[in-house]
Structure 1
Amino acid sequence: MTTSRAGDLFQPGDLVNNTYRIEAILGRGGTSDVYRARSEISGRLAALKVLKAEFSSNDDYLVLLTREEEIRDIRHDAVVRYSENNRTGDGHVYLVMDYVDGPGLDAKLKAGPMPADALMTICRRVCEGLEAAHARNIVHRDLSPDNIILRDGDPAQAVIIDFGIAKDTNPGAETIVGNEFAGKYAYAAPEQMSGKTDHRTDIYSLGALLLACFRGAPPEIGRNPMEVVENKKKPLDTAGVPEPLKSVIDRMCAPDPADRFQSTTEVLAALAGRGPAAPPAPAAADAGNLEDATVIVPRPGAGTRDSAAPKPAAGKPGAGRGKAKAQSGSRGGLYAVIAVVLLAAAGGGAWFIGVLDGLFGPSYPEARPYTLVAEKREGLPPRVTGYAPSEQTRDGLASILADQDGSVDLTLASGDISPEWGDGVTGIVKAVSQLDEWRLSITGNEARLTGRTTDEGVHDRVNAAFAAGLPGGLQGAPEITLDPLFLDSADLRPVLNAVADCGPLELRSIPPSGYGPDREIEVTGTLASEASLTALRSALAGLAGGRPLELDIDVLNPTLCLIENFLPSAPPGDVGIQFRNGEKGNAVNPSGDFMVGENPVIDVVLPRDVQNGYLSVSVLDVSGNVFHLLPNISRKENDISSIRAGDQGPMSIRVAYSVAESAENGGLAFQVDDSTLGKSKVIAIHSDAPLFTSMRPTTESASGYAEALRDSARSQETRILSLDSRILTTLAR
């Protein structure tokens, strides 16, 4: 976590636009800073990317931030979610995105080498996120270890962040920050040195950063720009990297883009063992003498491509090389060649003006790679993006999805696909449309189909539809899973037990027959950190199958959790704990939040029916200390009947005073300083006998108090009647 500085635009405790409470600064960049904040409305953690003051009125940088917000259309768990772009009252522009709690790969890189199996998992996860971005023609252009975060430290939960310099690869789309080179030299693809990027640029960068994480050090690329350019022409040194990671990285990081995987779908296929990791072998050279072949050279400018674009495959239009046997000594042969050329020219002219469309179909620009992504996620309408070979395919998909309010965003294009490709895709989408969730990702003829349902009949019908494999010449094994209709609470308890680090986590309102598809899963308890809460939410979401989650969790800290494990087991009572502001005339503070410099006043309210027994009140401080408010050396009486002195009604007992009251009567008073901020816990224990055999000191360590509680619990002489508590939070201004 980055330490706050006096010059930072926002400080912990600041409230942005009456919505986001700043908790910490996460990092500083050249044009923007990123803060962790919590919504005062929803309680949700968020990351706020704030444009620095000097750039807030610069249109170029405003376009950058606005464009980054538009990437919110990418809906995938491996891509950070963006939600809104806003401006404060004093003109500061900020972007709100999901907060991802976990180490970045840059931190892992500094810590040393990572195991190959973890890197294979990261590669698979990041490729799935890039696949979703590339399907919308969005290229990251700056993949590096600091732009990938492992949520909760889990390689399977890798998340791509910082799409601020991403570029739409549609023709004519503008780069975010001019056309200059954006990627970091160590991980940039060779073609980026001349400002050229496409989907394969991201594939190279991902492979390079995986190699760096395996080595535990970034690649050596040279000490000056000339050395960098020269070194980028060479393959990366993968000696010592175990298979299959080595072959995957070699193919991802081939210096020539045409020798790499042509899409992330191909990478995923190789990782799954369904595609080659090594580059395809070159076609064998023709045994014939080149002098016996006529070489047709395209006219200058015809079929010219960006050097970063894929090279045309042999036999495809624009391949630039063909051959035919020459007939020596035969004028008839020459006339025949001329006739063929004239016929071809006439046919070509007819093709370009559309005369032959009725015979051969319309001509569309070639797309390489030829991709399509169709998916339906829980709670969202289905959608299809990418390329289609015909209007019939596009309209057929639109018709299938119309009943589910789905959308189709397809560009008509030709490509290296099977003749039945369009019918195959249409048939697949029609078959899976009855699933609860599904996703179809295609590059060329390689397909990846996943889906799930709670209906056994639907599951069987969909699997039967693909018993002979995917239709339309598409290659890939479908993965359709059957989720149970009712989820047993016993399946959730191992997750709760594994995450619990601050006392037990409990399921509330457990349905007797199990959780139905729409039944909310309620969990209550305490955790030691936000990271634990994120881990719990993530683990439960994996089991919940779309069921709503309600986590009524108090996030404490390790000190409070130490005590939590030793607190006596007792039901809550009706003893109230009330906070007031001492510096504001003891005005009630319903939130329990106190800023630096403020004076928390604490009252314990006894209900009418609590007339006897003993009351013990303590503060478990965020710093790791325990303050005993009642009883203590200067205030020994905690017998409720003595405190009441005949008062039979509800009774308020002040246990922590304002500074002015303390000066007058000597009672204990607190004032918040900035040495330690966070959550403290006030506990009120009602027992039928004194809690401890001897007086505890006014202040002691948490471990000392925990030991005393343990000893008290072993005694059979004292019975705990109730235990009530409330959180007091200290914040910086």
Structure 2
Amino acid sequence: MIDPRPGDAFQPGELLNNTYRIEALLGRGGTSDVYRARSEISGRLVALKVLKSEFSGNDDYLVLLTREEEIREVRHDAVVRYSENHRTQDGLVYLLMDYVEGPGLDKKLKQGPMPAEDLLIVCRRVAEGLAAAHRRNIVHRDLSPDNIILRGGDPAQAVIIDFGIAKDTNPGAETIVGNEFAGKYAYAAPEQLNGQTDARSDIYSLGALLLANYRGASPDIGRNPMEVVQKKSEPLDTTGVPEPLKTLIDRMTAPLPADRLQSADAVLEFLRAPDVDGDVDDPDATVIVPPPRTPAPEKAASLAKTSRSAAPPAPGGKSRSGLFAVLAVLALGLGGVGAYLSGMFGGSGYPVADPFSLVVEKPAEGPARAVGYVPDDTSRTALTRLMTQQSGQADLTLASGDLADTWPTDVMALLDRVQPLDQWRLVINGNAAQLSGVTSDAALHDRLSAAFANGLPGALTGAADIRLDPVFLSAETLTPVLDEMADCGPLTLPGAGPVGYGPETDVVVTGRVAETATRIGLFDALRALAGERNVVLDVEVLNPTLCLIESHLPSAPPGGIDVSFIVGDRDEPNPSGRFFVGENPVIDIVLPANVTEGYLTVSILDVSGDVFHLLPNLNRQDNSVAALRQGRSGAVTVRVAYDLQEAASNGRLAFRVDDSTLGKSKIIVLHSAQPLFDGLRPTTESAVGYARALQENFEADHGSIQSLDSRILVTAKP
């Protein structure tokens, strides 16, 4: 489990929708957090995914969460069951799903290799779940070890989770949603790099994760996007994997979608009747190797079986079918050469590439590289020379495509412009291009931004994003944003070093804000300045009234006096401090053993702007610690707000939540050496007036208030 933070959406013990009691935080993500909760009606455990507050008002993320909710239509044991979306009174959106107890395959991956037999069982189970989802045209798009949980640790009880992909800009997350890519690089199918996804992409991802868990190590995908593109075009290395797992993975992870097992049902068919190729080291074995872009491997294997059964044995017991197969492949190869030379693949005489893609990059770390297609030898020579000058390398293939006549000139002109950047990346598909770059030179940033303001050179369509990113981000750069957005006391940057934030240092902000809208605006403003750095807002959202009072309260240290809550109607603890309309909040003050003298003043700063004095008041005037302890030593509990029935008999204060003033209120506990005021304050008064009176008292006698402790009480609709 993960330790909670004050800024988390929910706290352990909190009751949602008057039904689900939060038990623990299971994980934090870039856009959402996941909690374990229990239904107080049925006792059923559930997992609860909540969008972070800065995304709850963003329609794009709501659509993604709604898409995940639609998985509830898939009824299969291997697919996590979803319930529905809810929105809290504070505007947070959360999704309910079944809680699956057991290790994820990501945990198993860290523990080392898994047996092939277990992985075949996992494959069957997951393929059954995918088949059920695919029949409803639902593609996972992000299948990876962390999205498969083994219920009770049993491979036969594997469950697919997390069908919703959300944009995650945290470093290392590698999950992107947009026109270009969806999925994790290590397990994503090659076509996903170009934004093309269908059921066969899930087949590839399943095969890749099976291989990773067999090896006990994630796939090697390279150190930068250029290497990713190159490695994704190559078959996965299954050397040493035992049959039939090896052949299964090979057929699931062919780089070209058309060469894979075409459906989850096809995977299940293979598992029912494995069709494993013969041993290639056996000189008597018949091996047919399909040429590029021929029928899928399973069809080729079917042809191989036909050849074996139809060809009579050669004299001496040797099979001649291998020779016929080689001749057939050779004939196909010669046919391909003839077609190539005759221009059948395109007007230039080069094979047609669709999509016609090219990626050229100078990353922050590692050599520059160019990978993809070019339309002529002149372009290939120029790009190769450019990469050599950058101490990089080029892997370029001549091909034809639907390109503008000025394509080679336009591309080289664009690359010439970006050379001074610290790092850059150009992605081209046909005539469409996207350029991104980073520089620490403000003058260069302004010059290139102006040059590309109206688009890219020549016939290239698309845009350029040139970002100014100094090596170190100074705290002074961020301070104006914090000062502008601060509406509930100062916002601080506890992690800022002497020179600011390095390239991989998180920007952490602590403090309080008055509204969720402030938190969202703060996050957006900091993201615009932080570059690739992660922004962490460890801030508490209060409300305007409480924030106004905060600015008037005296400065005093905490004294270790605790505030605890009980639901009076049911006489049960409520550690979350959240009460719903109709409930009766009971409030206890817990004095630590070392607080034995002085006076206690307890008040509620209500969300409406009023103060209710719980101690002292007209019905309970003696607030000395000695009177409250009544001779008891150690930690002592003092009740200051009562159960309704008890209050009716003893005349003490009691409350019932109604829907007129919902939100956050604050319990203030002041420990002073002497009574704070001459005489009693009215039972109810203006919060601002009371805070000013406290401040005046504190200024007149700095030693009068020894400590200040507080606790938030939240009222909401069920």
The TM-score, its normalising length taken from structure 1, stands at 0.47
Larger relative contact order, structure 1 or 2 (CA cutoff 8 Å, min sep 6): 2
The TM-score, its normalising length taken from structure 2, stands at 0.48
